[in-house]
Every structure is written in C-alpha cells, then in structure tokens.
Amino acid sequence: MTNARIVLLGTGTGLPDPDRAYTHLAWDGPGGPLLVDGGGESYRRLLAAGIDPQTLRGVILTHSHCDHINGLPALLFSLRLGGRTESLPVYGLAPTLELARGYVLAAGLEEWADITEWRPIAAGDRLRLPDGLEVATALTAHSRPCIALRFTAPSLPTVCYSADTEPCPAVTELATGAHLLIHEATVAEPFAGHTTPRQAGAAAAAAGVRQLVLVHFSPRWTMPVAQALAEVAASGFTGAAQIGHDLQSLPL
C-alpha cells in the first residue's frame, strides 16, 4: 500500500498543553485505519488527519488510564450519529476493556454502543489482521496493566509504540530491529511507570532502531524540546530523533 503512515493524533501527557492533546495515534496502512487509544476528541482528530472515522477497522486500547480511554464513549456516539452499523472491534487487556466498557455504560450508551465488539487479548499475543497486518504485543512496566505494540505489514518498515512505561526489557525486545520507535518521554527524572528522554534514547539504542519519536511529552512539564533532544543524544542513540507533535504524519 502506498502512502502508509502513522498519525500522531495527540502527543501530550495526562496534563495537556494548549497544543498537545492526550497521546493517541492512528495506523493508516494495510489492515487499517486503526485507532490506538481514545483520548479526548478522537473523531475530530481523525477528521483533521484526513482519515474518515467511519472507515475505522478497529481500536486498540493500551491501558485503562483515563487519558487513554476517556474519548471512547464520544467516539462510539459520533460513529453511530454518522450512520455506522458495521461492527467495530475494540482490542485490549481484559481489565482495560472492563473499565472502558464501564465508561461507555456510564454514558448511557448501551444501545448506541451495540456496534462494539469487545475483544480481550493477552500480553504477548499477536493480532493477525486483514491485508497482512500483524500487531505484536508486550507487557510494559506501568502503574496499570499496559501493552506496547509492534506493527508489521508487507513491504513496510516495522513500527513499535511503547505506550506508557518505564524502561523495561520487554519493550526493548519488542522494538528490536524496528525502523521506527514511538516512545513515551513523560518525566525529567527517573520515575516509576514512565520514561525520561534520555532513557527513551537508551531504549532506542539498545533496540537498534533507526528513528525515534518522543510522545507523551510536554515542553512545559517534562523539559524544553532542545533539552530533550540533547538528552536523547547523550543516551548514545545515533539515529534520527525528534519530538512528536499533534497531527504529525509519519510516512512509512
């Protein structure tokens, strides 16, 4: 498929900035489009990225913190208002789906959400999706059960997304050999459940990836952009590194 890409729909932390929404993204390639997490106004963000939300072929929820799932009820509401009747698979760890379903029910959307197919997966599973897309998963080191994702599709570079995590061997192993690593960089100093820019750079170097894009980042709450890039360079990572920004398209 030509013009395959990852779109960073949001790149901020749980405490958003004026120009950074909650971190979530879209796989816009074979087997897609797929939404990864549903923070805030995912429907409008997809439109702004040039993706018709009505064509979504699935949603993957990495974990149950509210900045990653609180937009799911509104997404389902808008899909139904837009006339969708086709089922929408929603993948995630069982406790993640349980809480996400509770959000939907709390919004009074029982009938509106009847298009949803809740599909529990376990860390380590490999989702084999249409058009040759495979999504491998690994358990991250976070304060709630959370999965990192690795996207592999025919004739395309491999992409890995860390989701929320402190540095951990499982994520590094999942990312090993990938072309692009999208990694969280929430904190300035080591902190349980999250990663610093320097630690993200070290993970990218250990995994041997070519390109690193930092998300779940705030120039206000983490550190200035120039400092973050200097921290990545100090980690020993020698590939291309950048700070992701909202609605950025990463071509594959």
Q: What is the pLDDT of residues 209-247, one digit of tens each?
A: 999 999 999 999 999 999 999 999 999 999 999 999 999
Round to whole Å and give the CA distance between 133 and 113: 26
140 Cα distance to chain centroid? 13
| β-pair type (5-10, 126-128) | unpaired
Average pLDDT rounded to a whole number, residues 26-36:
98
pLDDT in the model for residue 7: 98
Residue 44's CB is within 10 A of a number of other CB atoms, namely: 15
3 state DSSP class of 174:
helix
Q: Is residue 205's pLDDT more than 60?
A: yes
pLDDT in the model for residue 1: 45
Q: Is residue 175's pLDDT more than 70?
A: yes
Structure tokens at 72: 């799911």
Q: In what order do the strands lie in the sheet with 88-93?
A: 116-121, 88-93, 58-60, 34-36, 24-28, 5-10, 248-251
Q: What is the pLDDT of residues 97-153, one digit of tens each?
A: 999 999 999 999 988 889 999 999 999 999 999 999 999 999 999 999 999 999 999
Nearest to 57 by CA among 147, 160, 135: 135
Residue 215 vs residues 14, 99, 120, 230: alpha-carbon distances, Å:
12, 24, 26, 16
pLDDT in the model for residue 2: 60
Q: What is the pLDDT of residues 123-138, one digit of tens each?
A: 999 999 999 999 999 9
Q: Is residue 203's pLDDT more than 90?
A: yes
Round to whole Å and give the CA distance between 160 and 198: 18
- Provide the residue type at 75 as one letter: L
Q: What is the pLDDT of residues 50-95, one digit of tens each?
A: 999 999 999 999 999 999 999 999 999 999 999 999 999 999 999 9
Total length of the chain: 252
% the chain with pLDDT above 90:
96
3 state DSSP class of 52:
coil
CB 24 within 8 A of CB 13: no
Residue 102's CB is within 10 A of a number of other CB atoms, namely: 12
- Provide the residue type at 239 as one letter: G
pLDDT in the model for residue 111: 86
Q: At what angle do helices 94-106 and 72-81 cross, to 10 degrees?
A: 60
| String of DSSP letters for 120-137 | EE-TT-EEE-GGG-EEEE
Average pLDDT rounded to a whole number, residues 172-188:
98
Round to whole Å and give the CA distance between 99 and 9: 22
Could you say which DSSP state residue 239 is in?
A: S
Q: Strand pairing partners for 212?
A: 181, 241
Structure tokens at 111: 């009938």
Phi first, then psi: what are they for 151, rounded to 5°?
-100, 125
Round to whole Å and give the CA distance between 241 and 165: 19
